Structure 1
Amino acid sequence: MRSEEFHAALRERGFPTIGQRLLRARHFYGLSVRELADQAQVSKNTITRLEKGLPVHDQTVIVLARALNIRRDRLVAADFHLEESVAIARADSGRWFDANLYRGSVSNSPELPSDPREWSPDALPFSPLASRDSKGRFNPNLMHLRAPTPSKSHRGEEFAYVLNGRMRLVFDDHAYELGPGDSAFFWAAESHRYEPLTEEVLLLSIVIDPFPDSARGLRLTRARSRANAAGNRAASGRG
């Protein structure tokens, strides 16, 4: 969408409508006004003003839409939806990749053979599940855990659900043993790794990152994690 078309559509929709759309997106991601202000580098008062339907500079609307991963043309469209499509993955169409050889996207990474018996003992196989084109915000994968994963940290949050076998989650110097049906949900900016306790573990792993294109997302996640840890320590001291 060209700039003049966006500005005209913005005037046609009006700031009350645009403000409500951005408010819905902020709530969708579970962000406070302060967190969005930090992410977009605008003032809290500006966000509050827009969410109340009051006018702000057009460029501010663009910056906030970008921070919330909303395209300009979608923000000013007559019919606005946060979710635009459904993705289906069939059980017989799975593709497996080695996490050790992953190059940022499946299109740039070599596939593993379809027969698991041909996989290298050192491989960390994973299979991407159905996902919309959400620019990395929500990444569900199946993992065959046969060897310990390297310790890592990254933006966002991570969810792990054990389908088969037993494993250990090592998170920030704490170890948690998990079996079939057990799950864990944690801030991924802290160092973490998975260790199999049985010959093989089948694991559902989901990485959620509301701001995959911004380095500020990692700083925000780490700040949240540290604040939560400090709160937990304070609560333990009171107990």
Structure 2
Amino acid sequence: MNSDIGEKIKKLRTQKNLTLSDLSEKTNLSTGYLSQLERGLTSVAIDTLDNIARALGVTMYYFLDKPKSKKNFILRSFEREVLEIENNRIIQFQLTSDMENNDMLPRIFEILPSSNNEEITPYPHIGEEFIYVLEGVLTLLINDEKYELFPGDSAHYKSTISHNWANNANKIVKILTVHTPNLLKK
């Protein structure tokens, strides 16, 4: 995986006519580290990858492979892949082997703690949502009312009402979600 990311970084850097020194200046990373990364000799942290991506004018998802859609209806725990990482704080994992052909979109979210209470901006969208708290304390905002959900708690609501959720605690929050419609469906 590191060599794939490194190859993509080097290819994009050279396409943009940037030297390792140029990229080093834009990212505040050493040229030695960047060189090792491009050759697949070292690993990269998510926040560092995001820093490099911004310097190269792309998102970090440019460097990550999208999970492969399979036709099998069983997804083993060891097959679970990261679907997306948002703002270096929210990690989404796929929970289905065929995300693009099903009506529901089941996922697990791991939400890292914020340094202070997050401003939660509620928003409506089409569909329906189910949330089940696996670990931590989730702050759920529905129609300007805040609810604290603890492990074992769940919420099920129409997505057309104003809603959002966040981690305002100091420990990781893990939630299982199921959304309809599946926006990844072909």
Structure 1 length as normaliser, TM-score?
Answer: 0.26
Q: Which has the larger radius of gyration?
A: 1
In terms of fraction of residues, the more strand-rich structure is 2
Higher relative contact order, chain-length normalized (CA < 8 Å, sep 6+): 2
Give the alignment's TM-score, normalised by structure 2.
0.33
